[in-house]
């Protein structure tokens, strides 16, 4: 797993930078609300936790904790590099779909997820805005280090993780890809992966929750939660959102 740090940090960091430039120069969705200082605080803390702390914890687990557990055998999952890559992109994505759907289904889990949907805007900065504790409940921390450790080719698995992190930033970007030229490749991508307009629709608080997928749209289509939506009348922020401290520390706060 010598390349684990590269897989986690290389492409996501580059994607964030390129999408940041895209949000400055390319057509973007109109979002009249602005970030308050408390929003920036939640955004930056979230980026640090998901972009730095959680990947490092995964690596620490793989190098220190897992070798002490006799029931975990490194290399036991006999997958090729590409097989391990697809395992992350498809299987982990399937698990995330159901986890995300459950966060919208049960009230306690929704209160944990509320912080993300209380953002007044949806762009690359809001990607990792989350309740403090929910950061450590995502399948990406609970499962990725274990599967990576078990894989015969962990580099392929973590390459999939790297791509998933990049797609997470991509689908939160406010770039209006439907207004860009050369739409054929954009429409081709939209048949496979979750595009920004699909995830912006997920953040529309005026509609029933839909579009739960992270990488692939197939799960939403199979389980009837997919909606191909435009950008009209989107309310990004929850009405009567709780204070940012409540959002961040719930349930250990008033």
Token pair of 214, please?
Answer: 């992270």
pTM of the model: 0.93
141-147 long-range contacts, Cβ below 8 Å, gap at least 24?
141/54, 141/57, 141/58, 143/92, 143/95, 144/58, 144/88, 144/92, 145/57, 145/58, 145/59, 145/61, 145/62, 145/66, 146/61, 146/66, 146/72, 147/77, 147/87, 147/88, 147/92
Name the helix (H) or strand (E) containing 197.
helix 196-202
Supply the pLDDT for residue 230. 62
Q: Rounded to whole angstroms, how far apart are CA atoms 33 and 18? A: 23
Supply the pLDDT for residue 1. 46
Supply the pLDDT for residue 254. 66
Provide the residue-wise pLDDT of the chain in tens; the chain has 254 residues: 445 545 556 889 999 999 999 999 999 998 889 999 999 999 999 999 998 898 888 888 888 899 999 888 999 999 999 999 999 999 999 999 999 999 999 999 999 999 999 999 999 999 999 999 998 899 988 899 999 999 999 889 988 999 999 999 999 999 999 899 888 999 999 999 999 999 999 999 888 899 999 999 999 999 999 998 766 678 888 777 788 899 999 988 76
């Amino acid at each position: 797993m010598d390349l684990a740090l590269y897989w986690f940090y290389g492409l996501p960091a580059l994607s964030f930078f390129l999408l940041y430039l895209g949000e400055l120069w390319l057509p973007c969705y109109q979002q009249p609300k602005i970030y308050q200082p408390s929003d920036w605080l939640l955004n930056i803390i979230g980026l640090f936790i998901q972009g730095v702390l959680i990947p490092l914890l995964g690596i620490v687990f793989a190098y220190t904790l897992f070798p002490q557990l006799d029931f975990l055998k490194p290399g036991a999952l006999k997958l090729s590099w590409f097989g391990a890559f697809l395992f992350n992109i498809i299987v982990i994505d399937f698990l995330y779909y159901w986890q995300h759907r459950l966060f919208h289904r049960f009230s306690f889990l929704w209160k944990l997820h509320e912080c993300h949907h209380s953002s007044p805007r949806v762009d690359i900065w809001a990607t990792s805005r989350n309740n403090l504790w929910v950061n450590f409940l995502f399948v990406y921390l609970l499962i990725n280090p274990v599967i990576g450790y078990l894989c015969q080719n962990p580099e392929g698995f973590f390459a999939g993780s790297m791509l998933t992190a990049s797609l997470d930033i991509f689908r939160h970007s406010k770039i209006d890809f439907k207004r860009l030229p050369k739409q054929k490749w954009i429409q081709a991508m939209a048949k496979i992966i979750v595009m920004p307009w699909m995830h912006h629709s997920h953040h529309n608080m005026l509609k029933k929750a839909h579009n739960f997928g992270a990488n692939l749209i197939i799960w939403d289509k199979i389980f009837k939660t997919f909606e191909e939506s435009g950008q009209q009348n989107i309310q990004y922020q929850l009405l009567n959102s709780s204070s940012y401290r409540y959002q961040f520390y719930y349930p250990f706060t008033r």
